[in-house]
Amino acid sequence: MDATNKIPRHVAIIMDGNGRWAKKQGLARILGHQRGVETIREIVRTSREIGIKYLTLYAFSKENWARPKREVDFLMNLLGEYLDSELEEMKTSQIRFNVIGKSEDLPSQIQSKIKRNMEETEKNTGLLLTLALSYSSRVEITDAVKSLCEQVKKGHLQINEITEGHVARELYTAEIPDPDLLIRTSGELRVSNFLLWQISYTEIYVSEKYWPDFKKEDFLEAVQEYQKRERRFGRSETSMLPS
């Protein structure tokens, strides 16, 4: 990795393929999720090492609640274990922990662990690690619309004053720059209701590997591929691009 080359500031990942990974080995789907946590550890560590500032991981969508209860319960337990096991590492490696999505939908003990991890890492200045949980981009945008309507109703905002900035500031990601690179594993060519507003000009990279098989070198390959891309943001030349 050429450190002098541009490292994406914000990488977002749709971690997909745990179930298919398990099936391929003749194992239960849930064991794929367990192995997927190992990949999360490796990718978080690598992100810190190469100087990525924001890493956003799609861990559980609003639509994933429709999976069998057994699988959902397993995922919630795994999340609880992850929040416990990684807290020390987050603290010592300056990771700031964050969550986007409807965290109020999550079991109360998970909500407490999230709150604890966020509070205990809030002063950290390294990587901002965001987990998308019970996340739906359409819900996020709909809630933003509702909030702006409220502000108009109260007379705090005029309709013709509403800008893209007003919308962006109502999203869960108000404090986070848009992703530079979106990675999806397991070969699916879709965005599955993830960060629809924020990825307007994000570079997309799809890996054929299932998430538990996605290793440090695969992640570095995605970053290298990103470094070769020419981002134009709709312009005809690359000069005077937004920073």
Nearer to Mg ion, 146 or 190 (CB): 190
Q: Based on the shown chain and the rule CB under 5 A, indicate whether residue 180 belongs to the binding site for Mg ion.
A: no
* CA gap 21, 23 in Å, rounded: 6
Which of 54, 60, 205, 214 lies at the binding interface for ligand IPE (CB under 6 A)? 60
Determine, following the binding rule CB under 6 A, whether residue 227 of this chain makes contact with ligand IPE.
no
Q: How far apart are CA 43 and CA 58, in angstroms?
A: 13
Contact between 16 and Mg ion per CB under 5 A? yes
**DSSP-assigned beta bridge partners for residue 40:** none
Nearer to ligand IPE, 10 or 33 (CB): 33
For residues 219 and 42, give the distance between their C-alpha atoms in angstroms, rounded to a whole number: 10
**Residues involved in catalysis:** 16, 64
DSSP letters along 139-200, please? HHHHHHHHHHHHHHHTTSS-GGG--HHHHHHHSTTTTSPPPSEEEE-TT----TTSSTTTTT
Query: In whole angstroms, how close is the CB of 148 to Mg ion at the nearest point?
Result: 33
How far is residue 14's CA from residue 241's CA, in Å, rounded to a whole number? Answer: 27
170, 147 contact by CB (below 8 A): yes
- Residue 214 engages Mg ion in binding (rule: CB under 5 A): no
Under the binding rule (CB under 6 A), the answer on residue 14 touching ligand IPE is yes
Task: Say whether residue 19 binds ligand IPE (CB under 6 A).
Answer: yes
Task: Specify the residue, 64 or 93, whose C-beta has the smaller distance to ligand IPE.
Answer: 64
**Binding span for ligand IPE by CB under 6 A among 8-16, 37-45, 141-149, 234-242:** 8-16
Footprint of ligand IPE on 75-134 (CB under 6 A): 75
198's tokens: 């924020």
Decide: is 64 part of the binding site for ligand IPE (CB under 6 A). yes
* Chosen from Mg ion, ligand IPE, none, partner binding at 15 (C-beta under 5 to 8 Å by type): ligand IPE
Residues 111 and 157: their CA atoms lie apart, in Å, by: 33
The per-residue DSSP string of 22-37 comes to HHHTT--HHHHHHHHH
Q: Which amino acid is at 181?
A: L
What residues make contact with Mg ion under the rule CB under 5 A?
A: 16
What residues make contact with ligand IPE under the rule CB under 6 A?
A: 14-20, 58-61, 64, 75, 186, 188, 190, 192
